[in-house]
Amino acid sequence: MEIAKNASGEVVDYDSGTDLAVTPEDRSPFSGGKRVIVDGLLSRSQTVVIAVVFYLGAVLVGLGIVVFIDTRVLGIGVLGMALAWYYHGGSLRLSYRGLGELAVAIAYGPLVVCGTYLVQSGYLYAPLIHASIALGLLVAAFLWINEFPDARADRAAGKQTLVVRLGTGRAMVGYVALLTAGYVWLLLTVIYYPQARGLGWGLLGSLPASLSAWRLLDSGGRTAELIPAQAACLASFLLMSVAAGLGYLLS
């Protein structure tokens, strides 16, 4: 599904001119799209074929899980596919309307975690649901920080991300608030559900998150200065998910 979403998104962003408008000085390893069409690594038609093949593959795998393991996961799968497609494409084009961040928070947090847990265990667990919301907020923060280098190109192409809508200054404050919300949510989860205290190891991710926030606020909006902040944000949600997962398992 991730491959299919990335491929279909490449086509939409190429057709809208968003990826074409990103200047060399605003390119970073974490933003500016995958650029496989812009850089000539794949043609537009090849990218479309990849999107179609992997969407169909995701449907087949998902239906296999529904039929042979747990029918209750069908709704999660359908919603996940809808968010993947409508994030860039279709009539909704969520990322172009300032709703992409919400879509990512839902898909990469509760849907992925709860769907996986439901299929393997047969039930859902309240502390895990809350931890998945915290993770979703942190993954959305990674999207948010990656929108800063693309802001000029997005604005020119009519892609109204939250960074474009808020402006650089307010978007920086919003980013810090989003990181804080993710870790506060996890902390409150551990406090309210002491039986799930192992999840608290995920708070280790707040260390690179703090570094990311500081580097962003100190960057002045310059892409070269933003790259360490982007990398630290990636490390933050990866460390949070791995540490919380292991802590939960061992406890």
pLDDT at 112: 95
pLDDT at 55: 97
Which whole-number Å values give the CA distances from 56 to 4, 49, 63, 148, in the listed order?
9, 11, 11, 33
pLDDT digits (tens, 9 = 90+) for 22-59: 988 888 998 888 889 999 999 999 999 999 999 999 99
pLDDT at 221: 84
CA–CA gap between residue 74 and residue 236 (Å, rounded): 31
CA–CA gap between residue 94 and residue 102 (Å, rounded): 9
Ranges of residues in the chain whose predicted pLDDT is under 70: none
pLDDT at 167: 95
pLDDT at 34: 86
Boundaries of every domain in the chain: 2-250
pLDDT at 250: 92
**Of residues 162, 160, 175, 172, the one with CA closest to residue 222:** 172
As a dihedral over the C-alpha atoms of residue 38, residue 44, residue 50, residue 51, rounded to 10 degrees, the angle is 90
**Of residues 205, 199, 203, the one with CA closest to residue 233:** 205
pLDDT at 180: 98
